[in-house]
Amino acid sequence: MRIQSYLSFRGQCQEAFSFYKSLFGGEIINTQTYEGQENDIPEDYKHKLQHAELKGDGFHIMGYDASPDTPITNGTNIQMSIDLDDDQKAKTLFDELSKGGKVHTNFQKTNWGAYYGRITDQFGIEWMVNSK
């Protein structure tokens, strides 16, 4: 069995995946737009991504631009969790993900012996960064 995340965006999927690629590496694959699809999508939304994947060493994130009439509640239904073995790399990644977003828990030493922080990034996705 394999469980993967699938993120929903309000028209910023390409921008978000490009940002995540700059942080995590990997490749953006299997991109499909709404262009040519038989659905009720506004003309100015047809170039948005109906599906995309960012796949790299140890991760696979999928996502799409939800149609304008699809309700989305940012951040309350999923949190992405990243575990690293290097405290400095974890701190750097936490800082980069935080830019333009909101820090909920500062990156700090925890009572379980790890460094941990939690943020909502500029795209409304919640992230937990943990370094053991």
pLDDT tops 90 at residue 121: yes
pLDDT tops 90 at residue 72: no
The per-residue pLDDT of the chain, averaged, comes to: 91
pLDDT value, residue 82? 94
pLDDT value, residue 39? 78
Domain limits of the chain?
Answer: 5-65, 79-131
Other C-beta atoms within 10 Å of 106: how many?
11
CATH for the 5-65 domain, from 1.20.1250.20, 3.30.420.40, 3.50.50.60, 3.30.720.100: 3.30.720.100
pLDDT value, residue 75? 65
pLDDT tops 80 at residue 78: no
Q: What mean pLDDT is predicted for residues 110-116?
A: 89
DSSP conformation letters of 36-81? T-SS---GGGTTSEEEEEEEETTEEEEEEE--TTS---TTTS-EEE
CATH architecture classification, 79-131: Roll (3.10)
